[in-house]
Amino acid sequence: MRRRRFSVRQFLRHVIIGAAFSLAAAATLGAQTGTENESAFEFIFPYGARAVAMGMTGVAMASPSDAVWLNPALVARAHREASLQEQSKLSALISTDIGGSVVWTFAPVGTVALSARYMDEGTDIATNDLNEQTGTFVPKHEVVAATFATTFGSRATAGFTVKRLVRTAPCSGECGPNLPASSSVNALDFGAQFYVSHDSVLSVGLAARNIGPKLQQKDAPQADELPTRIEAGIAIMPTLKDAKDVRVIGAADIVARVGPGAPGFRFGGEVGYQNRYFGRAGYVVYGPGEVSGATFGVGVQTGKLAIDLSQMATDPGTSGLRPTLVSLRYIF
C-alpha cells in the first residue's frame, strides 16, 4: 500500500475550509447568544513577555511557552524548553500572577507542552450583618493546560491545547455569603501554521481559542459565554545580507470575537543583534472593553537562558496601572 504524500495545497485547502466554517459558526453563535456576558477572561489575559512586547502578536510566530496560549501549532518546531513568567499590575484585582510551561519534543511524533498559571486577588475580609470581621478569604484563579502539536512536511504544523480554569476562594473563619462561589470550565484551542516560502521568511497562522461550554457561576441562567476568538496572523523575517548579525521580525494579527463587536488588530516587531540582544515594540487596537495601546520590551539571551521584559503603555482596565511582564526561559 502506497503512503500518501503530504500536499501543501491540500493542507491549505483544509485550513481555509476550517477557517471559513469557524468564522461562520462564530457569527451564528454570536447572533444567537451575544457576547456581552463573556466570562473566563483568565483565558485571554496577556501572557508572555516577548509576545506582549511585540503588540501581543503570536499567531504566526512566537516563543514556544508563549505559543501555548496563542497558537498551539507553533510548539511543533520547538526545542525543549522550561519557562517561568511573572506578571504584575495586570489588573487592579489581581495581586499575584505567575505561570510556567515545560515543552518537550518526542521526535518524530510531535511536541508536548504542560502549562499552568496561578492568579489570586489577595486576602479579602468577610463580615457579618454588624460589619464585624468574621473571617478572611483569598479568591484564586488557576489555569492548567496540555498541548500537542506536530509537523506536516517541512512547512506546515498543527496543534491543539486542552485547558481548564478553576476558581476557588478558600476561607479562614466564617465567610458566609461573602464567599465567592467556586466554579470551573474546560476549553479547547486549535491552531495551524504554514511557511509560505521554503526559507521560512514568511509564515501565516490561524487559531481558534477558548471553545467550550458556558462558565456557570451559580446556576445555569447565570452562566456566561467563554471569550471565544478566531485569530489569523502573518509574520515576516527577511534576510539582511549587509547586516548578518541583525535579525528583524515583523508581525500582524487580526482577532475576531464570537458574536457582536469590532475585530481587534495587533502589530509588532523585534530587532535582534547577534541572536543575543533584542528590542521589541508593538501596538494593539481592540474594540470597546478590551486593551488597546502601545507595548514595548527588551530581551537578552545568554547560552541556554533567555530573559525577557515587557510593559504595556496603557491600562487594560480603568485602574491606571501599566502591566509589566518578566519571563525566564531555559532551553535544553
How far apart CA 50 and CA 70 sit, in angstroms, is 12
Phi, psi of 325 (to 5 degrees): -125, 140
Q: What pTM does this model have? A: 0.85
Query: Cα dist. 197→78, 116, 162, 270, 273 in Å?
Result: 19, 34, 30, 20, 24
Domain that holds residue 237: 8-331
Q: Please give the pLDDT value at position 31.
A: 37
How far apart CA 62 and CA 237 sit, in angstroms, is 12
Cell of 51: 509576545
Q: Are strands 293-302 and 305-312 parallel, antiparallel or unpaired?
A: antiparallel
Give domain status of residue 273, yes or no: yes
| Percent helix / strand / coil, the chain, rounded to 5 | 15, 50, 35
168 band by pLDDT with thresholds 50, 70 and 90: very high
List the beta bridge partners of residue 82: 102, 330
Give domain status of residue 195, yes or no: yes
What phi-psi label fits residue 234: left (phi over 0), alpha (psi between -120 and 50 degrees) or beta?
beta
**Least-confidence region, from 87-96, 286-295, 323-332:** 286-295
Give domain status of residue 1, yes or no: no
Average pLDDT over residues 176-185: 87
Per-residue pLDDT tens digits for 55-86: 999 999 999 999 999 999 999 998 899 999 99
CATH of the domain at 59: 2.40.160.40
Cell of 190: 486549535
Per-residue pLDDT tens digits for 198-239: 777 899 999 999 999 999 876 556 688 999 999 999 999 988
Kindly state the helix (H) or strand (E) to which residue 50 belongs, with its residue range: helix 49-53
Q: 230, 301, 316, 232: which is closest to 270 by C-alpha? A: 301
Q: How many domains is the chain built from?
A: 1
Give domain status of residue 233, yes or no: yes
Give domain status of residue 222, yes or no: yes
Give domain status of residue 3, yes or no: no
Give domain status of residue 2, yes or no: no
How far apart CA 91 and CA 121 sit, in angstroms, is 9
Kindly state the helix (H) or strand (E) to which residue 157 belongs, with its residue range: strand 156-168
Q: Please give the pLDDT value at position 318.
A: 52
**pLDDT score of 26 more than 50:** no
Give domain status of residue 85, yes or no: yes
Express as a percent the part of the chain with pLDDT over 90. Answer: 61
